Chain A
Amino acid sequence: MDIGGTLVKLVYFEPKDITAEEEQEEVENLKSIRRYLTSNTAYGKTGIRDVHLELQDLTLCGRTGNLHFIRFPTHDLPVFLQMGRNKHFSSLHTTLCATGGGAYKFENDFRTVNLQLHKLDELDCLVRGVLYMDSVVSGGPSECYYFENPTDPDHCIQRPYTLENPYPLLLVNIGSGVSILAVYSENNYKRVTGTSLGGGTFLGLCCLLTGCSTFEEALEMASEGESTRVDKLVRDIYGGDYERFGLPGWAVASSFGNMMSKEKRESVSKEDLARATLVTITNNIGSITRMCALNENIERVVFVGNFLRVNTLSMKLLAYAMDYWSKGQLKALFLRHEVNLTQPQKTVGALLELLHPS
């Protein structure tokens, strides 16, 4: 499990090569848990199994099986624990591998249902997970990709990218907040910096500004809005480009800058506000990342995290910003599974840790 600030991510390995003898020896509780997890795609009101990202016929520790990805909001953790109590998780005498801040915060709550947590550092898990995902999915289309012609919307297309020799790379994990890691090898990385302006900020501000309540809703609104009605652009101030400093007229001079005027506050739509929030947060992550890449002298950046889930808008913005402001020096990379995945890397990393302790 990866228990984050907003979401809990769970991976479950379902062995498919169970022999008849094994099946007989298996306790009833385990069978019932497996049946419950694999036969449903939704659990309660908020739990979801992302069927489309299930990894089938995977070999782990000599066993073949399927890897399932399940997610639910962190505030529903008590419901999950209650389910565990009902299904007698504790009778399995097993250890649950957990990462994310919640592994620490909720450790005692797990004890109340007699579950032992094996706590793992989340950044260790993230790095291991990202590298593993890239290697394991190599059979099909490349896990890693970039946008070709990011500055030209008409010709901007996804292209596979081979992470054969991945180091050094900058790994930007955009969850509720953002962590930026410089990775030099699988076991050698450092957290360069982070910012509190992340996915949680986007959703939080959208909720306050538009009254929406889910990430999907916020993204949907953003896709229909126009941020230039909310933001003050360079051309709004200088009438065009600010040539003395090489600033193009379309660049944002002040995020939400137009909202200083009462008249303009009254004329914008909720969609415009959602879009401006998305653009503001995304561009800011881009600019901090770019400065870190320069300071660390790294040219490849992999963006991962919840925030990018079903968020092509932000990915293209990041690709554009990296390319434009670095004059083509920096390459923004994304992971294909991110489009649908609920950030599986960390959870998979945690699972790997259980199987192959480093």
Chain B
Amino acid sequence: MAECVRLDRSASSHTMDKSITLPPDEIFRNLENAKRFAIDIGGSLTKLAYYSTVQHKVAKVRSFDHSTKEASSDKLYEISMQEEVSARLHFIKFENAYIETCLDFIKDHLVNTETKVIKATGGGAHKFKELIQRKLGLKVDKEDEMTCLIKGCNFVLRNIPHEAFVYAKHADSEFRFQTTHPDIFPYLLINIGSGVSIVKVESEDKFERIGGSSIGGGTFWGLGALLTKTKRFDELLQLASRGQHASVDMLVKDIYGGSYGSLGLTGDLIASSFGKSATADKEFSKEDMAKSLLHMISNDIGQLACLYAKLHNLSRVYFGGFFIRGHPVTMHTITYSINFFTKGEVQALFLRHEGYLGAIGAFLKGAEEDNPNQYSWGENYAGSSGLMSVSPDMNPMQRARSGTFDMLEMDRLERQLVNLPLLQDPSSYIPDTVDLTEDALAREYWLYCFEEALDGVVKRAVASQPDMPEAAERAEKFSQKYRHKLQTLRHQPFAYGSLTVRSLLDTREHCLNEFNFPDPYSKIKQKENDVALRYYQKAIKSLEELSWEERQFALAQGVLAGNVFDWGAKARPWLVDSYDQWLERLKGPPHKCALFFVDNSGVDIILGVIPFVRELLSRGTEVILASNSAPALNDVTNGELQILTERIAAMDPVIQAGLREDRLTLVQSGSSSPCLDLSRLDKVLAMVVRERQTDLVIIEGMGRAIHTNYYAMLSCESLKMAVIKNSWLADRLGGKLFSVVFKYEVPAGKSSQCSPPLTRS
């Protein structure tokens, strides 16, 4: 059954803990702007959801108005900090014991008076209805649990890239995150509450409960309590994790003496659960009985799940409910059961935010008029707790379960994000080159790197706001927050999905934004752009003096050189070198349209990328320049690039004509990361790419072409260019610091080009 377990009578006798004080900066943030509350009250945990508008600083650039002779200013363009309002979803999970304290806290901090209704779901909603109405003065509006659950599930699957994972107890990393298929439907959701509900979900609004079982979490809890005199669910699980089921269960070998070969049943297989307690006249330990019970129930659920999956021909099977909820023990036994019954054909999938599904769904029901599903949302790493392990021995940092607040924050993204239409297989595309969750050595190294670099980032952040005296204090808070995140990730690399260099960089950007450092590099970028612009005409002139073949090489070198501070003479062959094939290709017909993902400000964009683009335009190729929507490190933003191309167009008739004739187009990528996820790009970009029949994708720089997308397979020609600016990574790739990657690829079928592997030989 879908319902969450109601409060055990003994549990409800807990005295409401009013002594805790809630730190308003960290929990229930932005309450003063909160509206649209929803609450999901389960057997032991309450999940509260609300929507808030967040005011934060953004960095904007604006061209000086040249007509008023302001141009005499020595600055290239004007940088300003502006206040912007964006939408955020907050989800907070806490123990039911704190519900009254939390409601009081909300009442005291809630300013918005428009809110009249709170959506509620979960088995405990009924019980606390009166309390909520009295404390908050809101009308409690009950929503169907299953509908909320499915809505929430669809939402997280669609908006959180690494939401689903496979659990592997004995692997190097227990959590293996899955790439979500762009089409999340159809799937099977097995919700294991006190009973089991098996739901087939076919589309956003179409789902059906196709079956269920009465043997579920309630059976484990109820029968377990009878057998072991242990009252609490968590304690029962702990007992089970220490037990040996073979002393209670009758195994195949107990009947056969070994395996039952002709049927392929191994000797260790359970023939009869609790079979030994029927024949042996002895005492059984609590641990052993709990373990036997856990196996019995997990196997039974797994078997039914497989039978339903087979009957309905479904291969994506997600498990949720309080029986699962992050418990390694149950995730392991369910996984084992699914593997056994499907012989590995179906994998048991679990969800990082499984506990929040009901609250998310209830919230979405209440927010339908805001059309939340029309937007893309992104997990805010700064405000979210991440996936916690609940096993105390697995994680020494782990807090006791009580007294803590788990949080999830989702930012509404300005732009709707979609796949790049040129991905060869969107369902198998993984942006990141190295999964640090699985590679312990790499993880150690990069966590160390980011920690070492933190002081420098803080200095840079403070320096970027010289007029603000409290910047130092804010920067210190940022530093604490990010350091804490790094520590969490050291112990729980799986906290936010697969740990990657990209996620470490993005987390840092989220934390910087959180403390109002939207663009620490703005002034540096401004200065470098200014300097580079002064050399532009000279650079173009010297390029034009070269022969065609010399010029092509100089242009490629220019992109590579612009991408690195210390460019010496780099003799070919490079570490990865398909320049000859590229040159051959250039001798052929021009491309129809090239999509260029740009990287840094300054020399890189102005003296490296633009001349390269200019050559493409001259060949008759249209060019789409894709740059970040918001700042990240010293990457050129779309706003900055608009100004820079205008300035260059004023000096260069080729660029000017390109812009005028709409053969050179600037689009924003939708990203604010130094890396690049081709499965989450601005919808407009995807549209332009399709309209212009793009047949070449160029990706430049270490973040976009090495840390991410090195292995990305595109359905058209692609060129990945980067200089490896990190000696550890260079060493890993079998090269030296400043080794060059020049990787030109033609998709299979169009040519026999093989890509060099990115592994140490």
Contact pattern, B 639-658, Cβ under 8 Å of A = 1, otherwise 0:
00000000000000000000
Q: Is the CB of B219 within 8 A of A102?
A: no
**Known A237-B123, A257-B219, A280-B214; contact A204-B307, beta-carbon cutoff 8 A:** no
B743 to chain A, nearest CB (A): 48
Assembly CA distance A107 to B257 (angstroms):
10
Assembly CA distance A247 to B213 (angstroms):
12
Q: Is B227 an interface residue (CB 8 A)?
A: yes
Q: Is the CB of A257 within 8 A of B195?
A: yes
Q: Is A156 an interface residue (CB 8 A)?
A: no
Interface size on B, residues (CB 8 A): 64
Residue in contact with B278 in the complex, picked from A104, A207, A261, A287, CB distance below 8 Å: A207
Residue in contact with A200 in the complex, picked from B9, B144, B227, B278, CB distance below 8 Å: B278
**Which of B227, B278, B307 has the most A CB atoms < 10 Å from its CB?**
B278
Residue in contact with B218 in the complex, picked from A105, A197, A260, CB distance below 8 Å: A260
Q: Which residues of B contact A5 (CB under 8 A)?
A: 250, 254-255, 271-272, 275, 279
Assembly CA distance A310 to B221 (angstroms):
31
Contact pattern, A 131-143, Cβ under 8 Å of B = 1, otherwise 0:
0000000000000
Assembly CA distance A49 to B252 (angstroms):
28
Assembly CA distance A291 to B309 (angstroms):
11
Residue in contact with A254 in the complex, picked from B214, B274, B284, B341, CB distance below 8 Å: B214
**Which of B8, B248, B255, B258 has the most A CB atoms < 10 Å from its CB?**
B255
**Known A73-B279, A201-B275, A207-B277; contact A253-B303, beta-carbon cutoff 8 A:** no
Q: Is the CB of B303 within 8 A of A193?
A: yes
Assembly CA distance A131 to B310 (angstroms):
30
Q: Is the CB of B274 within 8 A of A200?
A: yes
Q: Which residues of B contact A253 (CB under 8 A)?
A: 1, 3, 194-195, 214, 218
Q: Which residues of B contact A242 (CB under 8 A)?
A: 1
Assembly CA distance A4 to B252 (angstroms):
11
Q: Is the CB of A121 within 8 A of B262?
A: yes
Instruction: Tell me the nearest residue of chain A to B123, going by C-beta.
Output: A237
Q: Which residues of A contact B613 (CB under 8 A)?
A: none
Q: Which residues of A contact B217 (CB under 8 A)?
A: 254
Q: Is the CB of B257 within 8 A of A104?
A: yes
Q: Is A113 an interface residue (CB 8 A)?
A: no
B176 to chain A, nearest CB (A): 27
Assembly CA distance A276 to B706 (angstroms):
61
Instruction: Tell me the nearest residue of chain B to A198, going by C-beta.
Output: B272
A87 to chain B, nearest CB (A): 25
Q: Which residues of B contact A247 (CB under 8 A)?
A: 1
Q: Which residues of A contact B289 (CB under 8 A)?
A: 208
A123 to chain B, nearest CB (A): 7
Q: Is the CB of B279 within 8 A of A74?
A: yes
B39 to chain A, nearest CB (A): 19
Assembly CA distance A257 to B10 (angstroms):
15
Assembly CA distance A283 to B196 (angstroms):
14
Q: Which residues of B contact A292 (CB under 8 A)?
A: 307
Assembly CA distance A230 to B3 (angstroms):
18
Interface size on A, residues (CB 8 A): 69
Q: Is the CB of B277 within 8 A of A208?
A: yes
Assembly CA distance A171 to B278 (angstroms):
25
Q: Is the CB of A196 within 8 A of B307?
A: no
Q: Is the CB of B5 within 8 A of A260?
A: yes
Q: Is the CB of B249 within 8 A of A101?
A: no
Q: Is the CB of A204 within 8 A of B214?
A: no
Q: Is the CB of A205 within 8 A of B219?
A: no
Q: Is B215 an interface residue (CB 8 A)?
A: yes
Q: Which A residues, 232 to 284, have Cβ-Cβ distances below 8 Å to chain B?
A: 232, 234, 237-238, 242, 244-245, 247, 251-263, 265, 273, 280, 283-284
B3 to chain A, nearest CB (A): 5
Assembly CA distance A74 to B250 (angstroms):
13
**Known A5-B254, A121-B262, A244-B144; contact A283-B8, beta-carbon cutoff 8 A:** no
Q: Which residues of A contact B226 (CB under 8 A)?
A: 209, 256, 259, 265, 273
Q: Is B36 an interface residue (CB 8 A)?
A: no
Q: Is A151 an interface residue (CB 8 A)?
A: no
A78 to chain B, nearest CB (A): 14
Q: Which residues of B contact A345 (CB under 8 A)?
A: none
Q: Is B311 an interface residue (CB 8 A)?
A: yes
A325 to chain B, nearest CB (A): 9
Q: Is the CB of A204 within 8 A of B273?
A: yes
Q: Is A231 an interface residue (CB 8 A)?
A: yes
Q: Is B185 an interface residue (CB 8 A)?
A: no
Assembly CA distance A177 to B248 (angstroms):
14
Q: Is the CB of B277 within 8 A of A291?
A: no
Q: Which residues of A contact B248 (CB under 8 A)?
A: 204
Q: Which residues of B contact A257 (CB under 8 A)?
A: 194-195, 214, 218-219, 222
B256 to chain A, nearest CB (A): 4
Q: Is A55 an interface residue (CB 8 A)?
A: no
Q: Is A100 an interface residue (CB 8 A)?
A: yes
Contact pattern, B 200-231, Cβ under 8 Å of A = 1, otherwise 0:
00000000010101111111011101110001
Q: Which residues of A contact B193 (CB under 8 A)?
A: 254
Q: Is A111 an interface residue (CB 8 A)?
A: no
Q: Which residues of B contact A198 (CB under 8 A)?
A: 272-273
Assembly CA distance A198 to B271 (angstroms):
9
B653 to chain A, nearest CB (A): 68
Q: Is B304 an interface residue (CB 8 A)?
A: yes
Q: Is the CB of A176 within 8 A of B275?
A: yes
Q: Which residues of B contact A254 (CB under 8 A)?
A: 1, 193-195, 214, 216-219, 222
Instruction: Tell me the nearest residue of chain A to B196, going by C-beta.
Output: A254
Q: Is the CB of A237 within 8 A of B1?
A: yes
Assembly CA distance A230 to B274 (angstroms):
19
A232 to chain B, nearest CB (A): 6
Assembly CA distance A253 to B145 (angstroms):
15
Residue in contact with A291 in the complex, picked from B8, B225, B296, B311, CB distance below 8 Å: B311
Q: Is the CB of A294 within 8 A of B311?
A: yes
Q: Is A90 an interface residue (CB 8 A)?
A: no
Q: Is B32 an interface residue (CB 8 A)?
A: no
Q: Which residues of B contact A4 (CB under 8 A)?
A: 255
**Known A201-B274, A205-B274, A244-B146; contact A176-B250, beta-carbon cutoff 8 A:** yes
Known: A253-B195, A256-B219. 20 other contacts (CB 8 A): A73-B279, A101-B252, A175-B272, A176-B275, A177-B271, A195-B303, A197-B273, A198-B272, A204-B278, A244-B144, A252-B214, A253-B1, A255-B222, A257-B214, A257-B218, A259-B222, A265-B225, A280-B214, A284-B215, A295-B310
Can you show 20 pairs from A to B with CB atoms below 8 A apart?
A5-B250, A101-B260, A101-B271, A196-B275, A200-B273, A201-B275, A204-B272, A208-B227, A232-B218, A255-B215, A255-B216, A255-B222, A256-B219, A257-B218, A259-B221, A259-B225, A260-B194, A262-B225, A280-B215, A284-B213
